[in-house]
């Protein structure tokens, strides 16, 4: 029995859903880091982030006006987002940051999108999330990439001007991180629509934790499609599919609002029992039945790299400003507390991590602005920026001590502190993001031979053993070379290369080379 055959018996097979997730997105700067040889020349070639005249005008105009309208203590002491704020968001097209101008949208860059969301988050997490969700993974993004011309022409202008408010329902009580395990099912059948019998889907679903569901007018829905009667002429289980269903469609239930940590953005449930929809409701039409998971994972990377990192860095920036000012004016034992070493240590940690987060935000959004979909990089950004945001908030709370734990209009930390677990959890809980995406997907996509080795192990071709042995030899040679390089850099650290024009940067480049080789 060959080594490949033995491995095939113990190595779990990769499902189509898992393979689509692994294949999603592009490999970017992280590829060279995972391979042990960081490409700093590629990093230096990334263009500097800038705002266009329209983007800057939007920040100086509507965004600034919105900040003046927000009183987060009033929002948090209420139940609903104030109606004047919601109407302002619609009127000024805050929900259209990613929609092309040809459909009435603003068509801003990922960097501008991130900057706008982050700026709003400095005043209110609830308002920032309300703006963030329509401009992240959801009906707008999916329609742009996969919708039919008729769907785009109907929905995108309505989403841009706020006539329609979207939500997207994926998570169910039984399936959270394992989104591929959703139990919601649509059966291919015939039914009546607008007085005619048409081919469509009879869908039953039960979803929870859906942001904007209580106020949404159009529901994006993910579910599995089955065709037991063979009406489409193919297999019975057709896979995950995405559809757009208007709120007023018979049988659609939106409501039962959740209370996410007391932060007043809208989040709730949606249900439907044997709701018939025509094939025209499927995003992209009937041909896209079964392509839902591929559609979702191809778009998720972009949203994950914009919205939540923006929330993380804005939280850190507010905490940095608040803690620094407090340390300067608060006196104990006859001195400003900022003069004590313990406080200085915390402030230094806050400053360094805030700088790191802003640099990561800018770099990630610039990659997205170049047209890339670097799924591993965006996972790294989401995970580390939300975790660093949590660290910064903890330190800022320690500095402000008693003041930080008293709610009120002058408490600048409490709302962000309470909201931080939300950022940690959504769009891929951080434990999942770290283990499955950063390490799992990162290694599979960035290692030069691992993915092809796994494919050869599961191959049924007659020449699979020969192919596997060739890949194995290359892998051993590659690993040996990396190990020797790591040993050399460990014993002779001065041999690490650095090509930066800035002397103060070269030591960091050398350090990254040594760490990457390990």
Helix (H, G, I), strand (E, B) or coil at 427: coil
Which of 14, 6, 131, 25 is CA-nearest to residue 378?
25
Residues 6+ positions from 335 with CB-CB distance below 8 Å: none
Q: Do residues 413 and 393 touch, judged by C-beta distance below 8 A?
A: yes
**Calpha distance 455→444 (Å, rounded):** 11
The CA dihedral of 285, 288, 289, 295, to the nearest 10 degrees, is -130
Which of 211, 212, 265 is CA-nearest to residue 79?
265
174 catalytically annotated: no
Rounded to 10°, the helix 307-329/125-132 angle is 160
DSSP 12: P
Residues 70, 71, 73, 77, CA torsion sign: negative
- Residue 116 belongs to what H/E stretch? helix 110-121
Q: Do residues 186 and 227 touch, judged by C-beta distance below 8 A?
A: no
Q: Do residues 49 and 366 touch, judged by C-beta distance below 8 A?
A: yes
- Residue 202 belongs to what H/E stretch? strand 196-211
Helix (H, G, I), strand (E, B) or coil at 196: strand
**Calpha distance 54→404 (Å, rounded):** 38
**Calpha distance 362→46 (Å, rounded):** 10
Q: Do residues 347 and 271 touch, judged by C-beta distance below 8 A?
A: no
Active-site option among 427, 460, 504, 509: 427
DSSP helix, strand, coil percent of the chain (3-state; round to 5): 60, 15, 30
Return the active site residues: 427
């Amino acid at each position: 029995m060959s080594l490949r055959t033995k491995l095939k018996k113990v190595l779990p097979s990769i499902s189509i859903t898992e393979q689509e997730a692994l294949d999603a997105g592009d490999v970017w700067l992280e590829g060279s880091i995972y391979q042990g040889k960081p490409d700093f020349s590629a990093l230096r070639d990334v263009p500097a982030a800038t705002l266009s005249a329209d983007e800057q005008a939007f920040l100086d105009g509507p965004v600034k006006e919105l900040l003046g309208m927000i009183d987060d203590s009033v929002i948090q002491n209420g139940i609903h987002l104030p109606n004047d704020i919601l109407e302002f968001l619609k009127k000024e097209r805050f929900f259209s940051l990613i929609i092309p101008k040809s459909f009435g949208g603003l068509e801003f860059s990922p960097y501008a999108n991130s900057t706008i969301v982050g700026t709003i988050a400095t005043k209110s997490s609830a308002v920032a999330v309300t703006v963030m969700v329509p401009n992240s993974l959801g009906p707008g993004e999916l329609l742009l990439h996969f919708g039919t011309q008729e769907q785009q022409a109907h929905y995108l202008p309505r989403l841009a001007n706020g006539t329609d408010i979207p939500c997207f329902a994926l998570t169910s009580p039984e399936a959270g991180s394992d989104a591929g395990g959703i139990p919601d099912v649509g059966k291919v059948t015939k039914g009546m629509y607008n007085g005619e019998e048409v081919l469509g889907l009879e869908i039953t679903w039960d979803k929870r934790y859906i942001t904007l569901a209580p106020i949404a007018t159009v529901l994006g829905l993910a579910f599995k499609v089955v065709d037991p009667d063979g009406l489409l002429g193919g297999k019975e289980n057709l896979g995950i599919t995405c559809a757009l269903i208007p709120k007023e469609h018979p049988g659609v239930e939106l409501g039962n609002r959740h209370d996410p940590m007391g932060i007043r953005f809208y989040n709730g449930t949606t249900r439907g029992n044997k709701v018939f929809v025509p094939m025209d409701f499927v995003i992209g039409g009937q041909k896209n039945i079964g392509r839902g998971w591929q559609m979702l994972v191809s778009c998720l990377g972009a949203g994950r790299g914009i919205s939540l990192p923006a929330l993380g860095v804005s939280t850190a920036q507010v905490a940095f400003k608040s803690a620094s000012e407090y340390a300067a004016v608060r006196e104990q034992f006859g001195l400003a507390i900022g003069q004590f070493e313990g406080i200085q240590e915390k402030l230094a940690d806050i400053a360094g991590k805030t700088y790191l987060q802003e640099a990561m935000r800018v770099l990630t959004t610039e990659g997205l602005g170049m047209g890339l979909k670097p799924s591993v990089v965006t996972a790294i950004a989401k995970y580390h920026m939300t975790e660093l945001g949590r660290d910064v908030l903890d330190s800022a709370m320690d500095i402000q001590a008693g003041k930080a734990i008293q709610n009120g209009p002058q408490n600048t930390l409490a709302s962000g502190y309470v909201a931080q677990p939300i950022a940690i959890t959504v769009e891929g809980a951080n434990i999942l993001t770290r283990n499955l995406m950063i390490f799992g997907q990162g290694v599979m996509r960035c290692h030069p031979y691992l993915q092809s080795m796994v494919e050869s192990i599961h191959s049924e071709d007659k020449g699979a053993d020969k192919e596997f042995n060739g890949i194995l030899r290359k892998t051993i040679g590659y690993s040996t070379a990396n190990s020797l390089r790591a040993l050399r850099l460990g014993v002779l650290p001065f041999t690490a290369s650095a090509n930066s024009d800035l002397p103060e940067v070269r030591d960091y480049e050398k350090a990254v080379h040594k760490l990457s080789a390990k």
